C-alpha cells in the first residue's frame, strides 16, 4: 500500500559538509511529487536520503526525521536494507544487470531478499511486474535474452519492473528520462501516471515541462551561494508553482532567468 512521507528539519551531511539544510515537507500518498532546481542544489541527495541510499557514501549522515506512516526511517532499530525494499529507486541511466536475462533482472530484488521462489511464483512476479511497467507485450517472447539487448527506453522500463517486483510502497526516480529520446520519455511519463494509482512517486527532473506534466506537487530547491547548502525554497501544488509561485526565485528559475 502506498505511503505518505513526512520530512522534518532534515539536514544532510557528507562528512563535515552540509549539503542540504532544513528541509520540511509532506509527500502525499498515491501522488507524484517533483523535485526541481539548478544542478548541485541537493535534489538527488535528498531523494537518496528517503531510502537511506546516501549512506553508501562514507561519512554521509542526516539530522532530522523522515517518517513514513508513523515509522521513523532513521530509528536505530530500523534495518536500512528493509527501508530500501519498501522504497524503490530508479536511476538516471538505465542499469539492467548486464549478465542477467530480462527474466532474471526482474527477479533480482526478490533473489537478493533471499526468497526461495517456486517456478510458478517467479513466473507470476515477472509477468505481473513487466505488465505493470508496460513492457510485457514487447518482451514476453524473449525473456531469456539479455536485458542489455533492449533499447534505452525498454531498459528503463525493465528497471522500473525490477523495482516494483518487490512491491515497494514508494518509488523514487532520479531523472529517469534524461538519457532517453522523446518517444521513450513519453512512454515513461505515461507509465508514471499509471503507477501513481498504486505507488507514492517522487521524481527529480531538470525538465520543467516534465514536472508540469507528471506531478501533482512540486518542490523547488536552490543554493544560497557557492559552497552553501541546498534549501527548499517553495513546495506547492504544481499548478500553483507554474502559474503563480509564492517566491520570486521560483518564478525566475521556471521562466529560465537563472539555472
CATH homologous superfamily of 5-254 equals P-loop containing nucleotide triphosphate hydrolases (3.40.50.300)
All 3 cell numbers of residue 51?
531510502
Phi, psi of 88 (to 5 degrees): -80, 160
Identify the CA nearest to 218 among candidates 45, 88, 24, 37: 37
All 3 cell numbers of residue 244?
503563480
Phi, psi of 25 (to 5 degrees): -165, 160
What does the chain look like in DSSP terms, one character per residue? ----EEEEEEEEEETTEEEEEEEEEEEPTTSEEEEE-STTSSHHHHHHHTTTGGGGSTTEEEEEEEEETTEETT-TTS-HHHHHHHEEEE-SS----TTSBHHHHHHHHHHHTT----HHHHHHHHHHHHHHTT-HHHHTT-TTSBGGGS-HHHHHHHHHHHHHTT--SEEEEESTTTTS-HHHHHHHHHHHHHHTTTSEEEEE-S-HHHHHHH-SEEEEEEESSTTPPEEEEEEEEHHHHHHS-SSHHHHHHHTTS--
CB atoms within 10 A of CB 181: 12
Model pLDDT, residue 259: 54
pTM for the whole structure = 0.92
Model pLDDT, residue 1: 62
Model pLDDT, residue 128: 96
Q: pLDDT 10s per residue in the chain (259 long)?
A: 678 999 999 999 999 999 999 999 999 999 999 999 999 999 999 999 999 999 989 999 999 999 998 899 999 999 998 898 889 999 999 999 999 999 999 999 888 776 688 999 999 999 999 999 999 999 999 999 999 999 999 999 999 999 999 999 999 999 999 989 999 999 999 999 999 999 999 999 999 999 999 999 999 999 977 789 999 999 999 999 999 999 999 999 999 876 5
Amino acid at each position: 500500500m502506498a505511503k505518505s512521507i513526512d520530512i522534518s528539519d532534515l539536514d544532510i551531511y557528507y562528512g563535515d559538509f552540509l549539503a542540504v539544510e532544513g528541509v520540511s515537507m509532506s509527500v502525499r500518498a498515491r501522488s507524484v511529487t517533483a523535485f526541481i532546481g539548478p544542478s548541485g542544489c541537493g535534489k538527488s541527495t535528498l531523494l537518496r536520503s528517503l531510502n537511506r541510499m546516501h549512506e553508501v557514501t562514507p561519512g554521509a549522515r542526516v539530522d532530522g526525521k523522515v517518517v513514513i506512516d508513523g515509522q521513523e526511517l532513521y530509528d536505530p532499530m530500523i534495518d536500512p536494507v528493509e527501508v530500501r525494499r519498501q522504497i524503490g529507486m530508479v536511476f538516471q541511466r538505465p542499469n539492467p544487470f548486464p549478465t542477467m536475462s530480462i527474466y532474471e533482472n526482474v527477479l533480482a530484488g526478490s533473489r537478493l531478499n533471499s526468497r526461495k521462489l517456486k517456478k510458478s511464483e517467479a513466473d507470476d512476479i515477472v509477468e505481473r511486474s513487466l505488465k505493470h511497467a508496460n513492457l510485457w507485450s514487447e518482451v514476453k517472447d524473449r525473456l531469456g535474452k539479455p536485458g542489455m539487448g533492449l533499447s534505452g527506453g525498454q531498459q528503463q522500463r525493465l528497471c522500473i519492473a525490477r523495482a516494483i517486483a518487490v512491491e515497494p510502497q514508494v518509488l523514487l526516480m532520479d531523472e529517469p528520462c534524461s538519457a532517453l529520446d522523446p518517444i521513450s520519455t513519453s512512454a515513461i511519463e505515461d507509465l508514471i501516471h499509471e503507477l501513481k494509482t498504486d505507488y507514492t512517486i517522487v521524481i527529480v527532473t531538470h525538465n520543467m515541462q516534465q514536472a508540469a506534466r507528471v506531478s501533482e506537487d512540486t518542490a523547488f530547491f536552490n543554493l544560497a551561494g557557492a559552497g552553501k547548502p541546498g534549501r527548499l525554497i517553495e513546495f506547492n501544488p504544481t499548478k500553483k508553482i507554474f502559474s503563480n509561485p509564492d517566491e520570486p526565485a521560483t518564478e525566475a528559475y521556471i521562466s529560465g532567468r537563472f539555472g
